[in-house]
Amino acid sequence: MTLQIDHIIPQAAGGTASPDNLCLACISCNSFKSDYEFGLDPLTETDVALFHPRRQQWEDHFRWSDDGLRLIGSTAIGRATVNRLRINRAEAVASRRVWVAAGLHPPFD
Ligand SMILES: [Zn+2]
């Protein structure tokens, strides 16, 4: 899989190219994130900051569905990030279905 370097805080919003503002993202997630640093939490219908992978812990904001196919946001930040990046888009769920069948998903810590 080809990964891209994402500016967590977009350069358009003043984010720098320092390592603490960079992370790897797949092409689809990066394109949906674009220059956004906020997203809509569909539960509270408020705009909140997206998950910051350098400053926040993944397990505090996300969990996998019991079948491993869908990422569930457990906080407003998690839900907004899942929503903004369209993490549960049909193509991603189809890929996860194959990975689950092969015993490769969800990932272990
Ligand atoms: Zn992705």
Q: Is residue 79 part of a domain?
A: yes
Structure tokens at 10: 């977009």
Q: Is residue 108 part of a domain?
A: no
Q: Is residue 107 part of a domain?
A: no
| Mean pLDDT estimate for the chain | 96
Q: Is residue 106 part of a domain?
A: no
Going from the C-alpha of 106 to that of each of 2, 24, 41, 42, 72, the distances in angstroms are 20, 19, 24, 24, 12
Q: How many CB atoms lie within 10 A of CB 89?
A: 13
The number of folded domains in the chain is 1
Task: Give bridge partners of residue 72 from the DSSP assignment.
Answer: 63
How many angstroms does the Cα of residue 35 sit away from the middle of ligand 1?
A: 16
How many angstroms does the Cα of residue 28 sit away from the middle of ligand 1?
A: 6
Tens of pLDDT, residues 88-103: 999 999 999 999 999 9
Tens of pLDDT, residues 20-47: 999 999 999 999 999 999 999 999 999 9
How many angstroms does the Cα of residue 25 sit away from the middle of ligand 1?
A: 6
How many angstroms does the Cα of residue 45 sit away from the middle of ligand 1?
A: 23
Give the three-state DSSP class for 29.
helix
Q: Which residues surround ligand 1, an ion (CB under 5 A)?
A: 26, 29
What gap in Å lies between CA 106 and CA 30, rounded to an integer?
A: 21
Overall pTM > 0.85: yes
Domain ranges, residue 67: 3-101
Residue 3 pLDDT > 90, yes or no? yes
How many angstroms does the Cα of residue 43 sit away from the middle of ligand 1?
A: 22
